[in-house]
Structure 1
Amino acid sequence: MTGKTHIMAGIAATTVIVAMTDEYQPEWFIAAGAIGGLIPDICHSGSKIGRRFPVLSKVVNTIFGHRTFTHSLLFLTLLTLVLTKLVSNPSITTGILVGMVTHLILDATTKQGIKLLYPAKLTIRFPITTKTGGKMENILLLLLTVITLYFANSLIGLF
């Protein structure tokens, strides 16, 4: 999946959660969801986050490769521990984690799949896959945008 779809998935998921609960600060939670949607691709130097942090991206890719460690439950667990120690705002911590989960789900819909159980070499992918940047991804991006607008409307009454 492309960066714009990962960002939109993080925004859509956190917007839906905010619309259904009063537990999080919407502006922090949704922004963190967008950022979290990008974090797993730090392993790819051509990604939005990889271009922003090229040295870190190169190091992570050299050590682990693409869609391995940073697309795993191990990475998600370690980042959870780090974030809960370093970030005092649960809206930010949880938003980032929600965004990361959406990233993993989306990348599991591609033919390449992900190494969810890293360091095990098992590739996880859904039975029906799509091509990154293809027509189905564009349809998904549109659907995520519509979902976001629908739930955002329930929050602030746009329409």
Structure 2
Amino acid sequence: MTGKTHASCGLLIGMYLAKDYGISFESLVIISSAVAGSLIPDICHTKSYIGRRIPILSKVISLLFGHRSFTHSLLFMFLSYYLLNMLEVQSLYIESFIFSIASHIVLDIFTSSGVHLFYPIKVKVRSPISIRTGGMIDSLLFFVFLGSIYFVFFKTNPYIVIIIDL
């Protein structure tokens, strides 16, 4: 999947989790952590959106683990949860981040190369249905996520429509 598809899915997760907080600092952090979580697994790919922004770290992780292995695993999700919990990050922010990592992994299971979900065990998990990165289905998913974001944001927060209409 492309970065924009992952980010739009993360944004949808963040907006859904933040919908009860209105326009607030909490909402901003929930949404930001979800988008970050949806992109962070691709730190192992030097040409990804996040890999281009943190090139040295991306190169090191890529050399150590390769693409779609450690950062696309249950182990990575668990260690991320554990680290954020140790840092005493609020649980809702952690949930937002972890759910978005999970969404990234699930979406990449639908690519032809799959993921090493059980890393360090070298077994690839992939769906029998394959979606080409950057292909028509990937683009369709992006627009479905955008439409869903519209629904979550505007239909659950009608007062925001009034603010925008002014």
Q: Normalised by the size of structure 1, how large is the TM-score?
A: 0.92
Greater mean alpha carbon deviation, residues 83-92 or residues 35-44: 83-92
1:132 maps to amino acid? T
Measure the CA separation in 1 of the matches of 2:84 and 2:40: 13
Q: CA deviation at 1:140?
A: 0.4
The aligned residue for residue 152 of structure 1 is 153
1:101 maps to amino acid? A
**2:19 is the alignment partner of 1:15:** no
Contact in 2 for aligned 1:28/1:91 (Cα 8 Å): no
Measure the CA separation in 2 of the matches of 1:97 and 1:76: 6
Measure the CA separation in 2 of the matches of 1:128 and 1:65: 23
Measure the CA separation in 2 of the matches of 1:144 and 1:83: 27
Contact in 2 for aligned 1:87/1:93 (Cα 8 Å): no
The aligned residue for residue 131 of structure 1 is 132
The aligned residue for residue 74 of structure 1 is 75
Q: CA deviation at 1:28?
A: 1.4
Measure the CA separation in 1 of the matches of 2:92 and 2:29: 6
The secondary structure found in structure 1 opposite 2:130 is coil
The aligned residue for residue 5 of structure 1 is 5
For the pair shown, the structure with the greater C-alpha radius of gyration is 2
The aligned residue for residue 101 of structure 1 is 102
Contact in 2 for aligned 1:110/1:129 (Cα 8 Å): yes
1:70 maps to amino acid? T
The aligned residue for residue 111 of structure 2 is 110
Greater mean alpha carbon deviation, residues 66-75 or residues 123-132: 123-132
Residue deviations 1:100-144 (CA, integer Å, cap 9, x gap): 111001101100110000111111111211100000100000000
The aligned residue for residue 65 of structure 1 is 66
CA RMSD of aligned residues (A): 1.7
Measure the CA separation in 2 of the matches of 1:122 and 1:32: 29
Q: CA deviation at 1:87?
A: 4.4
The secondary structure found in structure 2 opposite 1:38 is helix
Q: CA deviation at 1:78?
A: 0.5
Indicate the percent of aligned positions where both proteins have the same amino acid: 36
The secondary structure found in structure 2 opposite 1:107 is helix
Contact in 1 for aligned 2:17/2:30 (Cα 8 Å): no
Contact in 2 for aligned 1:6/1:37 (Cα 8 Å): yes
**2:82 is the alignment partner of 1:50:** no
1:10 maps to amino acid? G
How many pairs align?
157
Structure 2 residues without counterparts, runs of 5 or longer: none
